[in-house]
Amino acid sequence: MPKLLEYQGKRLLRDCSIPVPEGGVASTPKEAYKIAERLRTTVAVKAQVGVTGRFQAGGIKFAGSADEAKRAAEELLGKEIKGLKVERVLVEEKLAIKGELYASVIVNDSWKAKGPLLMFSTKGGTGIEEIAVQFPEEVVSMNVDILKGLTIEQTRDLLSKLGVSLPLLEPLSKVVHGLYGVFKKYSARSVEANPIVLTEDDKVYAADCHIVIDEASVFKHPELEIDYPRDIGRAPTELEQLAWEIERKDYRGVGYFAQMTLGFGPGEGVVGFHGIGGGGAMLGADALIQHGVKLADYADTSGNPTASKVYRIVKLIFSQPNIDGYVLMGACIANQEQWHHAHALVRALREELASRPNFPVIILIAGNKEVESLEILREGLKGLPARVEIYGRDYVYNVDYIAERMKKLIEEYRRNFRRQD
Amino acid sequence: MTIYEFPFTTGKVTVDYEKCNHCENYACVKACSLFGRAILRVEGGKPVLISQAANKRCIEDLACELYCQAYGNRGLKIVLDTFGLEEYRHKIGLS
């Protein structure tokens, strides 16, 4: 799920009439200077990276003049914070804080709700999990009917439960109600304003925000300019960008691909990993890792993808140089018609394995049309020079065996590899 | 050489009709009927789309090609758009 940076999120808040501190985004110290000069007040210079705990990590600095803001930007731009490079800073007025509050709208995944959940607390600044543990009496929430929406009256009622004072109730309700507006307008998974700041002159601002957009709605919002809507905590590799291109061009089913190990050499025992079904895929990946198998990537094709999409994902996996094996961990009884996977695998593996003698390949596939799929795979992969093993539903609950087999095949393959050296 | 061609969402199907002249089982049509949306039929001894817009119903199951290659006369091929993957592989020395 794509996380928006603070300055991107604040643009959306401003569009929905939520007050945010005056400021602007800068990608050079000179730009930071100009913004600070325009603001003519003490400013906060904030590194724009998608991590929490920026202040403690030295990613937020205060400046009393434009020159100081420029120096702060010089220090921050190009610096790495929690592994992410700072490419932009947000320069905005420093607020005179009297109090900090919290509000968010998230998706309540509970089967009873399956809709937006609005949360509010009179304690802001730290994470809602800590607030809920330390001050449970200071947190209120309500499920919102997605069809009826949220009224300003409902918002006021919710805030009143925590005894929000009358002069503060109106502006605060507008902010919290506005957050729901952002959530709905941009099909977000979560919109959080933390802290909402009450200033010395009794004004209310969303001082920081965290917005996560639903991956499936990115297509509807080109104005957000999200070119890689996966949350992998780093810049995507070229292959990951290609994987997203495959996903973007064809909505049918899911084709996920992320690289886990980069820059490995031949014979290091790193395998291309392909899973089916989120939980089943993770179960398989965990089993392999526990048995000492190193994974080059984590791929997942679920939700009844087309065979063409599965084919492309397998080709992506094989586009990682120096992998010493390929494993399909379909560790679930899938309801998608598995013969589409079987056809895709036959096409891709016939192309890839012809020139890879003894290359280890393990395929575990189960579920709808399983018998036919296993037959398609056995027939289609016959005669290839690789070491291909195919398993069905009897092994879905025995992924440790699959992992052990993979480890053994890799060891044999590596021995051959060393001999050839 | 007579080539019959039709596009689908992320690629195209090409059929070399000269090879179809010697085909006895039309495995592509049967495969489409079993695994896909039955958008192919045999007309004049050759596979054709059942209607002009039937290609829009293609679910890209790749079966027509695989079964033509395995059991037919290898006249049908699918060209898939790789969205830059081929160029990437060429760049890093993987063909």
* Distant-in-sequence, close-in-space partners of B75: CB < 8 Å, separation ≥ 6: B15, B16, B17, B18, B19, B20, B23, B68
Reduced to 3 states, what is the DSSP secondary structure of residue A296?
A: coil
Q: Are B75 and B44 in contact (CB under 8 A)?
A: no
H/E run at residue A349: helix A339-353
pLDDT over 90 (residue A182): yes
* Chain A hits for B59, Cβ within 8 Å: 252, 306, 340
Q: So what's the pLDDT on residue A421? A: 56
Please say whether the beta carbons of A125 and A95 come within 8 A. Answer: no
C-beta of residue A35 within 8 angstroms of C-beta of residue A23 = yes
From start to end of A214-316, where are the E strands?
Answer: 254-259, 270-275, 294-295, 297-302
Instruction: Report how far apart, in Å, the C-alpha atoms of A153 and of each of A157, A160, A182 are.
Output: 6, 10, 18
B60:A307 CB<8 A: yes
Contact (CB, 8 A) for A67 and A27: no
Residue A383, beta-bridge partner list: none
User: Helix H segments across A186-264?
Assistant: 238-249
B88:A319 CB<8 A: yes
Inspect the interface and report whether the beta carbons of B62 and A311 lie closer than 8 Å.
yes
Kindly list the residues from chain B whose CB atom is less than 8 angstroms away from the CB atom of residue A340.
35, 59, 61-62
**Angle A240-A243-A249 (CA atoms, 0-180°, nearest 5)?**
140
A344-379 tens-digit pLDDT: 999 999 999 999 999 999 999 999 999 999 999 999
Indicate the burial class of A129 (C-beta count within 10 angstroms; 0-12, 13-18, 19 or more): exposed
DSSP state of A361: E
Chain A residues closer than 8 Å to B63 by CB = 307, 343
Tell me what pLDDT residue A417 has: 66
| Percentage of residues of chain B with pLDDT beyond 90 | 93
Flag if B62 and A347 touch (Cβ within 8 Å).
yes
Q: What are phi and psi of A330, to 5 degrees?
A: -90, 65
**Inter-chain contact A319–B89, Cβ cutoff 8 Å?**
yes
Phi, psi of A162 (to 5 degrees): -100, 15
> Per the CB < 8 Å rule, is B35 touching A340?
yes
Q: Is the pLDDT assigned to residue B71 strictly greater than 60?
A: yes
Say which of B60, B70, B93 has its CB closest to residue A308.
B60
Determine the Cα–Cα distance for residues A362 and A105; give it in Å rounded to an integer. Answer: 43
Residues 6 or more apart in contact with residue A84 via CB below 8 angstroms: A49, A50, A51, A233, A234
Q: Give one word for A117, left, alpha or beta, with left for phi > 0 and alpha for psi -120 to 50.
A: beta
Overall average pLDDT of the A284-292 stretch:
96
Interface of A with B (CB under 8 A): 238-239, 242, 245-246, 249-250, 252, 306-309, 311-312, 315-316, 318-319, 321, 339-340, 343-344, 346-347, 379-380
Q: What is the mean pLDDT of chain A?
A: 93
- Who's near A147: CB < 8 A, 6+ residues apart? none
B80 contacts A311? CB cut-off 8 A = yes
> Å from A363 to nearest chain B CA?
19
Contacts of A347 in chain B (CB under 8 A): 62, 65-66
Does A343 sit within 8 Å of B63, measured CB to CB? yes
Residues of A in contact with B82 (CB under 8 A): 312, 315
Nearest CA in chain B to A382: B70
For residue A419, pLDDT over 70 is answered with no
Provide the pLDDT confidence category of residue B82 given band limits of 50, 70 and 90.
very high
Identify the pLDDT of residue A230.
83
Task: Write the DSSP assignment of A380-417 as a string of letters.
Answer: HTTT-SSEEEEE-GGGTT-HHHHHHHHHHHHHHHHHHH
pLDDT of residue A137: 87
> In the 8-state DSSP scheme, what is residue A2?
P
At residue A191, does pLDDT exceed 80? yes
B65 touches chain A (CB under 8 A): yes
Residue B61 has pLDDT above 90, yes or no: yes
- Say if residue A418's pLDDT is above 80: no
The Cα of A45 is separated from the nearest Cα of chain B by a number of Å equal to: 39
Residues of A in contact with B70 (CB under 8 A): 379-380
pLDDT value of residue A280: 87
Secondary structure percentages of chain A, helix, strand, coil, to 5: 40, 25, 35
Least confident among A126-140, A183-197, A233-247, A367-381 = A126-140
Residues of A in contact with B65 (CB under 8 A): 347
A12 pLDDT above the threshold of 70: yes
* Distance from the A84 Cα atom to the nearest Cα atom in chain B, whole angstroms: 25
Q: Which strand (E) or helix (H) includes residue A342?
A: helix A339-353
**Neighboring chain A residues of B81 at a CB cutoff of 8 Å:** 249
Tell me if B83 and A307 make a contact (CB, 8 A cut-off).
no
Nearest CA-CA distance, residue B26 and chain A, Å:
18
How would residue A218 be classed by pLDDT, with cut points 50, 70 and 90? confident
- B53, two tokens: 């817009």
- The pLDDT value given to residue A420: 61
In this predicted model, which residue has the larger pLDDT, A134 or A31?
A: A31
Tell me the pLDDT band of B24, cut-offs 50, 70 and 90.
confident
- DSSP assignment of B28-92: HHHHHHHHS---EEEETTEEEESSTTGGGG-----HHHHHHHHHS-S-EEEEE--TTHHHHHHHH
Q: Any chain A CB within 8 A of the CB of B87?
A: no
Read off the pLDDT of each residue in B53-70 and give the average, rounded to a whole number. 97
Q: Is the peptide bond before A195 cis (omega within 30 degrees of 0)?
A: yes
pLDDT tens digits, residue range A115-143? Answer: 999 999 998 877 777 888 888 888 999 99
pLDDT of residue A228: 87
Please give the pLDDT value at position A111.
84
- Tell me the shortest Cα–Cα distance from B1 to chain A, in angstroms: 26
Q: CA torsion A82→A84→A88→A89, rounded to 10°?
A: 0
Please say if the pLDDT value at position A25 is more than 70: yes
Looking at per-residue confidence, does A4 or B1 come out higher?
Answer: A4
User: Is B83 within 8 Å of A242 when comparing Cβ atoms?
Assistant: yes
SS (H, E, C) A75-107: HHCCCEECCEECCCEEEEECCCEEEEEEEEEEE
| pLDDT above 90 (res A232) | no
Q: Do A312 and B9 touch (CB under 8 A)?
A: no
pLDDT at residue number B6: 97
Q: Which of B12, B55, B62, B87 to mutate to test the interface with A (most CBs of A within 10 A)?
A: B62
CB A311 within 8 A of CB A342: no
> Closest chain B residue to A351 measured between Cα atoms?
B95
Contacts of B36 in chain A (CB under 8 A): none
- Total-model pTM: 0.81
The answer, yes or no, to whether residue A380 has pLDDT greater than 60, is: yes
Q: Is A145 left (phi over 0), alpha (psi -120 to 50) or beta?
A: beta
Given this model, what pLDDT does residue A408 score? Answer: 96
Q: What's the whole-number mean pLDDT along residues A15-23? A: 95
- Residue A255 — very low, low, confident or very high, per pLDDT cuts 50/70/90? very high
Supply the pLDDT for residue A362: 98
User: Looking at the partner chain, which of B65, B70, B85 has a beta carbon nearest the beta carbon of A242?
Assistant: B85
What gap in Å lies between CA B34 and CA A84, rounded to an integer?
50
Per-position b or e across A292-323, b if 16+ CB within 10 A of its CB: ebbbbbbbbbbbbbbbbbbbbbbbbbbbbeeb
- CA B16 to chain centroid: 10
Q: What is the pLDDT at residue A53?
A: 80
pLDDT tens digits along A85-125? 899 999 999 999 999 999 999 999 888 888 999 999 998 87
Which residue type occupies A279? G
pLDDT of residue A375: 98
